[in-house]
Structure 1
Amino acid sequence: MERNGRSKEFNMAVPKFLVQLPNKLQNCLKASDLSQIKRFAKHDGHLSLSSDVKRGKKALTFSDVDLEKQLQAWRENPSWADQHAEIKVSVPKGSLCNLKVNVNVGLPPDAVFNIVIDPDNKKVFKNIKEVISRKVLVDEGHRQVVELEQAALWRFLWWSGTIAVNVLVDQNREDHSMKFKQLKTGFMKKFEGCWTVEPLFVDEKACFPFKPKTWPEYCSCSGGKGRLGSKVTLEQLIQPAIVPPPPISWYLRGITTRTTEMLINDLLAEAARIRGDLGPEKSNKESEFSQDIFSEVDNISDIKRRWALRRRYARQYHRGFLTAN
């Protein structure tokens, strides 16, 4: 009897939570808090999650290096096999989850950073429906503090919709970091995190037994042929105003993890597309295949469907090209 009573209470609680969820999702951030903006800019946008970033240690910077020169090495050797992202999930007390993702990307840090901070990156990341507003609050050339409101897609069981996310973003090209933090609490009590992009010496073996520590050293010992990749880390803390009980919290944590994984996969797909554009001349047979398939896609009138198919065929073709080599 006791177990049946608990089951009945849980069954009644679940529909109530599910009914309230869409309304709670829509009650997200709508306006900025000026005092918080000033504090954010004054303290260089450091967030609670930035403790993993080593302070006091000067990060490698490539502002004095021409990105075009870095990409030239990829033009000469565009081969790269993407690896699965490493995702670690922890559950700090009172939060839904803290996600930390590590993945290597076959493009230089500047190129990856350009993708992440692009105001029009909804073309890359499928979970961004639209950018509602974007306002630059601080502009120091290499660093900007931006107030951003986006409409993000969400799905829960048989419900789906959009949620307005209003955040402050501190993006710094010197260390290739982008920190973000929610402006006001709403359905989400906390939503904050940080992207960091560090250099990866892809062809470091060419320098053996010398182990380069800087870009000039790497460029010198590899004869200018060494490719520069990126070690990308994304960490984000998600804490709803009300953390649902299990098993709903488990389900939501799983959705959040898969959404983050999709975000990283979108980044890898865009990097693959760029590498494909950088590649050497294709053979006549490959060129004919490429022209035929993309000509067929270009005849589709639906813009979104045409864009999605072009990206899918590009990924499939690129994977086949790498396998063949």
Structure 2
Amino acid sequence: MGVFPGFGSWINKNSQPQPPLKAKAKSSKNIDSEKDDFKYPDKAYHDLNEEQKQLDLWHEAEMKHPWHNASPKIKVTHENGFYHMNIELTVGLPPEVLYSFLIEPGSGMFHDLRKRRQLMENKSRKVLFEKGPRQMTRVGKSVACNVFGVYIPISINLVIDENRKDFMTQYKKEKVRFMKAFEGNLKVDPIFVDKERLCKKKIPMTREEYKKCSGGQGKVASKLTIDQYYKPYPPFNLPPLSWFIRGMTIKTSKALLALVQDTSIAMRTATHMPEETASNKHEKH
């Protein structure tokens, strides 16, 4: 099963879990129509000039000292019938760019160009609610799950609650094959990668402090954290089928995360991806 509630294209430039949106909150829009809506909200909740500045810094640095794409840290625990998969991934892009990748509906991020294979795509999307930076949608997706090396499409239907200002998302299943319960959340936090080199007098705690002490020359990377909880239906909750579901979930998640890193390479270099990328290495091992 895929772990990402949404995904985006780098062409578009626009902690605690949040409580669910109320259906009739003040100053909000309820937009529950029959028509699919794949349009990303136009309004940005971050500084677009600063975003472009960060992309320029990353591009310049990549030409001199290429960023090392770290492998994801994945930990799966099991308690009371529920599986908890915790994922941490460091990405060499600023948070606003990475988050847009993950939620923007008109994506090409999870398309494997070499294999000509779409690992995840939106099939339907309806906006249920919108208030400021928050938007709730009902989304139907197809995720190509890795089953013994063969990718088989699995349909999932989710309700997704996004906050484009805080870079946080919650999601919960309406219908997911094999799953009695399926929900989770993700967040993207900043990493001040040049703080030791440029901020010698004071350790910055915020992006404003980091920008000041680095003279605007410090790159900001992203830490992606995903907490996913799921509980398979019987008999998939019992060995050996539960082992199969667990392995499929981890393999599929790794494949999607590898494409995230591949896209970050393309953004930093602004050229074609290298012959051996994160996704290629993942398939070799």
TM range (shorter): 0.7 to 0.9
Is the 1:74–1:275 Cα contact (8 Å) retained in structure 2? yes
For 2:150 and 2:216, how far apart are their aligned partners in 1? 53
Query: Which structure 2 segments of 5+ residues have no match?
Result: 2-18, 25-44, 113-117
Q: 1:118 aligns with which of 104, 121, 127?
A: 104
Q: Alpha carbons of 1:185 and 1:80: their partners in 2 closer, same or farther (altered >3 Å)?
A: closer
SS for the counterpart of 1:232 is strand
Partner in structure 1 of residue 67 of structure 2: 80
Q: CA deviation at 1:263?
A: 1.6
The Cα offsets for residues 267-299 of structure 1, whole Å up to 9 and x where unpaired, read as 111111111118xxxxxxxxxxxxxxxxxxxxx
Evaluate the alpha carbon distance shift between residue 313 and residue 77 of structure 1 in structure 2; reply closer, same or farther with a 3 A threshold: same
**Residue number among 168, 180, 188 corresponding to 2:171 in the alignment:** 180
Superposition deviation, residue 158 in structure 1: 8.7
Where 1:83 maps in the other structure, the secondary structure is: coil
Distance in 2 (alpha carbons) for counterparts of 1:186 and 1:251 = 14
1:158-237 correspondence runs (5 A): 161-184=152-175, 187-205=178-196, 206-237=198-229
TM-score by length of 2: 0.72
CA-CA distance at 1:311 after TM superposition: 4.5
Match of 1:313 in 2: 275
**Deviation at residue 75 of structure 1 after TM alignment:** 2.7
Task: State the shift of 1:121 in Å.
Answer: 2.7
Counterpart contact for 2:144–2:252, Cα < 8 Å? no
Distance of aligned partners of 1:123 and 1:102 in 2 relative to their CA distance in 1, 3 Å threshold: closer
Letter matched to residue 42 of structure 1: K
The alpha carbon displacement at 1:142 in A equals 1.6
> RMSD of the TM alignment (CA)?
3.0
Cα deviation, residue 103, structure 1:
1.4
Corresponding residue for 2:85?
A: 99
Contact 1:154/1:160, CA 8 A, preserved across alignment: yes
| 1:159, distance to aligned residue in structure 2 (A) | 7.6
Residue 121 of structure 1 aligns to a residue whose secondary structure is coil
- Spell out the pairing of 1:251-270 with structure 2 (5 A cutoff): 251-270=244-263
How far off is 1:187 after superposition? 3.4
Does 1:149 pair with 2:140? yes
CA deviations on 1:119-161 (whole Å, 9 max, x unpaired) are 1335425564532211111222422111100122234459863
CA contact (8 A) 1:128 1:150 kept: no
Q: Give matches, 1:7-86, under 5 Å.
A: 40-42=20-22, 63-64=46-47, 66=49, 67-78=51-62, 79-86=66-73
Q: CA deviation at 1:245?
A: 2.4
Aligned-partner Cα distance in 2 for 1:43–1:119 = 23
CA shift digits 1:138-185 (9 cap, x unpaired): 222422111100122234459863222110111111210111111257
In structure 2, distance between residues paired with 1:200 and 1:236: 22
Q: Structure 1 regions of 5+ residues with no counterpart?
A: 1-24, 26-38, 45-61, 279-309, 320-325
Distance 2:238 2:170 in 1: 30
Q: Is the 8 A contact 1:122 1:128 kept in 2?
A: no
State, as a whole percentage, how many aligned pairs show the same letter.
31
TM-score, normalising length: structure 1: 0.64
CA shift in 2, pair 1:110/1:179, >3 Å = same
